[in-house]
Structure 1
Amino acid sequence: MSTTKVPFSQLIQQPGKTVAKLDEAQQLRLVRRDGEDLVLETADRAEAAAAAMSVTTRLFVSLVKQDEGARALLMVLPEAFPWVKFLPTEDVRAFLVELVETANACAELDTLAPLETVVEAWRSTARIHADPELRARLTEPLDGTDYGPVSVL
């Protein structure tokens, strides 16, 4: 995908010229000094991306529901997420199911934020399995001390 970076102020000062750059690039990344960058793209492109996400997740859901498809996905999962190598086999399956179910729900809601949360949570789990010292500290029995209620931040 072709993305062109432009200062946000350029969009404000020269909207026609800036938007015309969408003919050359598929997206404009509007770089802001006082906040997160924004992305500008045509509605057709955004709708096509959402439709592609929806179709892709439906295919994955169908594959996971079939034994052969699930086995195939389990075999290629380490290419996309190399860290799954450190997860126990049952956790790799659980990650795949949660990933596909969440992707399917994300497509329905037109947001990808929950998908990132799922991947990061499982990556953290793999990190624990990969580090024997950390795993030992996190799985050792507690001494039974009650430190009281946890305050809400």
Structure 2
Amino acid sequence: MTAENAVNFSELVNKNKQTLARLKESPRLLLHRRDGEDLVLTTAARAEQDQTVVSAATRMLAAMARREPGSMELLLDILPDAFPWVRFLPEPDVHAFAVELVDTMRAADSIGNSASVAQLLVAWQHTAEIHSDPELFEALSRDHDADYGPVPDPRGVA
């Protein structure tokens, strides 16, 4: 968001009419908070439009991936354009990522919550980062013969 679409949260509290009037000029307003995570303010209609667009794109992608055999190859071909880091993944992992992405997007869309998609993208990107660094990959994939004993139940640790 641009600077003109951002205000301090206190402006919303102290000058609520003027601040809310800015939503007529911009679909979203970024609210900076001093003691917490920034917020995004939008209208319910805009949020519903956004969800409709994401849902439609998800359904189209899922339908495309399920169609003819060439569809998955097309998806695999365009993934590096959308996610350049997939170039570091081994070929089987690129396919696994594509399948998991489509399936997770469909499931997330069905409940209206995209947090699982965001987590999936972060996890696969971290996997790509490991593959991009030979020393890190070797250290993490090496067999470790040491047995450090049973792991305590984390719920019992204070």
* TM-score scaled by length of structure 1: 0.92
Supply the distance in 2 between the matched residues of 1:89 and 1:115 (Cα, whole angstroms). Answer: 21
Supply the distance in 2 between the matched residues of 1:112 and 1:25 (Cα, whole angstroms). Answer: 23
Deviations 1:77-133 (A, max 9, x none): 001111111111111011011111111222222222111110111111111211111
Structure 2 counterparts to residues 1-153 of structure 1, below 5 A: 4-66=5-67, 67-152=69-154
Supply the distance in 1 between the matched residues of 2:130 and 2:42 (Cα, whole angstroms). Answer: 39
Size of the aligned set, in residue pairs, is 153
Off by >6 Å, runs of 4+ in structure 1: none
> How large is the RMSD of aligned CA atoms in angstroms?
1.7
Supply the distance in 1 between the matched residues of 2:125 and 2:53 (Cα, whole angstroms). Answer: 25
Q: What is the SS of the residue equivalent to 1:45?
A: helix
- What are the ranges of 5 or more consecutive residues in structure 2 without an aligned counterpart? none
- What are the ranges of 5 or more consecutive residues in structure 1 without an aligned counterpart? none
Deviations 1:27-76 (A, max 9, x none): 01111101111111111110011011111101111111122221111111
Supply the distance in 2 between the matched residues of 1:86 and 1:50 (Cα, whole angstroms). Answer: 31
